[in-house]
Structure 1
């Protein structure tokens, strides 16, 4: 057997319901010890992965790009498309927002939290957090949420739930 015929294997990561593409890509990369550039090369997408992790979807990913990514991550292209904002829905690139109660129930960033029309968590009737209630640091992009805590003071997202306000 020749070395160039050996295909690398990757750990599969299952997406969560409602998970943003940014968060999913970060989880997949960490599970496989990949950089955004490495994942982009593996999928033949160049710098697109780094843009998508920052919610920069202009231009939006094409069907062909999603299918190329699907081959590498082992998730159907249609499922990946559901991790993107629907056509015509405006996105807030910043600040990154979080419902800590939702995160406690399902540890992922939900794409709907970044929609311009979303001001609160309708499920829990709570305002969304856009910064750590302990130290005031803005949240990093979800692709960087390795541990589910503030990257400045280490307060967990679960502990932040008690700081959210009811509306």
Structure 2
């Protein structure tokens, strides 16, 4: 058997309900010890992976690109498309926002938190956080969220719920 015929295997990562593509790509890459460049090469998408992790979708991800990504990550293209903001919905690239109460229920970044129209969490009736309430540091891109804490002071996201204010209805 020749070495060229050995195909690499990858660990599968199941997406969370409502998870953003940025967060999913970061989890997938860490599970498989890949860099954005390595995943870009494996999928044939090059620098698109790094752009998508930063919520840069100009040009938007095509169906063909999502299918190429789906082949490698083992998640169907329709599920990957759900991790993107719908075309009719505007997105905030920055700041990265978080509902600590939602994160406590499901440890992932939700794509809806980045929608321009989203002012707070509909489920918990709380304002979204855009910085750590302990140190004031802005949240990193979700692809870099490793253990669910502020990367500056290490305050856990789940502890931040006490600092979220209620949304007035």
Which residue of the partner structure matches residue 47 of structure 1? 47
Which residue of the partner structure matches residue 32 of structure 1? 32
Task: Provide the rounded CA distance (Å) in 1 between the counterparts of 2:20 and 2:63.
Answer: 17
Root-mean-square deviation (Å) = 0.4
Which residue of the partner structure matches residue 165 of structure 2? 165
Deviations 1:28-55 (A, max 9, x none): 0000000000000000000000000000
Task: Provide the rounded CA distance (Å) in 2 between the counterparts of 1:87 and 1:134.
Answer: 35
Per the normalisation by structure 1, the TM-score is: 0.99
Secondary structure at the counterpart of residue 64 of structure 1: helix
Asked whether 1:88 is paired with 2:81, we answer no
Q: What count of residue pairs does the alignment treat as equivalent?
A: 167
Deviations 1:70-116 (A, max 9, x none): 00000000000000000111000000000000000000000000000
Which residue of the partner structure matches residue 103 of structure 2? 103
Task: Provide the rounded CA distance (Å) in 1 between the counterparts of 2:76 and 2:88.
Answer: 23
Secondary structure at the counterpart of residue 10 of structure 1: coil
Task: Provide the rounded CA distance (Å) in 2 between the counterparts of 1:73 and 1:151.
Answer: 27
Secondary structure at the counterpart of residue 149 of structure 2: coil
Shift in Å, 1:143: 0.2
Task: Provide the rounded CA distance (Å) in 2 between the counterparts of 1:82 and 1:118.
Answer: 17
Secondary structure at the counterpart of residue 67 of structure 1: helix
Asked whether 1:134 is paired with 2:134, we answer yes
Task: Provide the rounded CA distance (Å) in 2 between the counterparts of 1:7 and 1:141.
Answer: 31
Which residue of the partner structure matches residue 122 of structure 1? 122
